[in-house]
Amino acid sequence: MDAQFANAVASTSAAPAIRWQRLGNVPLSTVTLNEAVEWIARWAGQAPFRLVVTPNVDHLVTLQRDAAFGAAYARADLSLADGQPVVWAARYLGLRGVEKVSGSDLLPALCARGAREGWRAYFVGGRDDEELGLCLRRIGERYPGLRVGGTSPPFGFEADARQTDALLGRILEFGPDLLLLGVGSPKSEIWLARHAERLGRGVGLSIGAGMRFVAGLEPRAPRWMQRAGLEWSFRLMREPGRLWRRYLVEDVRFLPLVLRWKREARRRKSN
């Protein structure tokens, strides 16, 4: 990843500088939201295919036990701190310059940039074809100039070679500058990383519920909750049946994980 990114820096003289740091064992890019948009704008529609990841608390915990997810992160071209708790953890561990660049803020910024520049954006997700169609229509109306397309794949498509080939065929026929997967993590990141060579060009990223946010089908937490690192609690209140295990069982491992990283850093410093 580091060598690949160095090549990108060398070949793009106008791009803002990016410094890579490690949050424990997870690579993290030190960029602002505007800088992230600028980098993605330079890569949009260009070869090779670029992968953007947005580590949040759930990702950081899952990365400790999921090798395929870790492999996807290892080949990422940009890794953005998604959530205030990630920023707080970075500061606690002594990382400097890390800013919150959530996927839910990045997606509308990219849609706005794409509308100005005539990008082609392909969305993979939606609970069914009807919801996907509604989202695409609303996004197209909100961002005139952004050419949108998409598909709602069947459950388990990532493990079915024929379904994967069919999806890749539809994506390549559309020729997106941006490929936006909303089929959940780590599924989205792993699928994008595994098929990067066949995709060939453009930028891919996992958007979670971002498509629903941008289309106005689901509200985001109030700004004060976002700044306070409580966006997770807003989502939990709205979808307790689906999200309780993630936030109340899995993600409670985040604090012990950060404390472990802190102890390890102190030991390395003392040796």
The 3-state secondary structure of 161-209 reads HHHHHHHHHHHHHHCCCEEEEECCCCHHHHHHHHCHHHHCCCEEEECCC
Task: Give the residue with greater pLDDT, 164 vs 10.
Answer: 164
Cβ–Cβ < 8 Å for 186, 195:
no
Residue 251 lies in a domain: no
pLDDT > 90: percent of the chain: 75
Triad 233, 235, 238: Cα angle to 5°? 110
pLDDT, position 1: 42
Mean pLDDT value across the chain: 91
116, pLDDT greater than 70: yes
Average pLDDT rounded to a whole number, residues 163-175: 97
pLDDT, position 16: 60
Triad 105, 131, 182: Cα angle to 5°? 45
Average pLDDT rounded to a whole number, residues 74-101: 95
pLDDT, position 15: 56
pLDDT, position 11: 36
Number of domains observed in the structure of the chain: 1
Average pLDDT rounded to a whole number, residues 75-88: 96
Cβ–Cβ < 8 Å for 84, 226:
yes
pLDDT > 70: percent of the chain: 94
d(CA 42, CA 50): 11
Task: Give the residue with greater pLDDT, 232 vs 165.
Answer: 165
Residue 85 lies in a domain: yes
d(CA 211, CA 28): 24
d(CA 48, CA 42): 12
pLDDT, position 12: 40
Cβ–Cβ < 8 Å for 101, 81:
yes
Neighbouring-strand partners of residue 204: 51, 179
d(CA 239, CA 13): 45
Average pLDDT rounded to a whole number, residues 65-82: 97
Task: Give the residue with greater pLDDT, 64 vs 223.
Answer: 64
8, pLDDT greater than 70: no
Residue 20 lies in a domain: yes
- Tell me the CATH number at 99: 3.40.50
d(CA 150, CA 125): 8
d(CA 178, CA 113): 11
pLDDT, position 86: 96
Residue 249 lies in a domain: no
Domain range holding 145?
Answer: 2-215
176, pLDDT greater than 80: yes
Sole residue written with tokens 């290892």? 74
Cβ–Cβ < 8 Å for 179, 124:
yes
Residue 248 lies in a domain: no
Residue 154 lies in a domain: yes
Residue 75 lies in a domain: yes
Q: How confident is the model at residue 28 (pLDDT cuts 50, 70, 90)?
A: very high
Residue 64 lies in a domain: yes
Sole residue written with tokens 């005139």? 144
pTM: 0.90
Q: What is the pLDDT of residues 117-138, one digit of tens each?
A: 999 999 999 889 999 999 999 9
pLDDT, position 14: 52
Average pLDDT rounded to a whole number, residues 236-265: 90
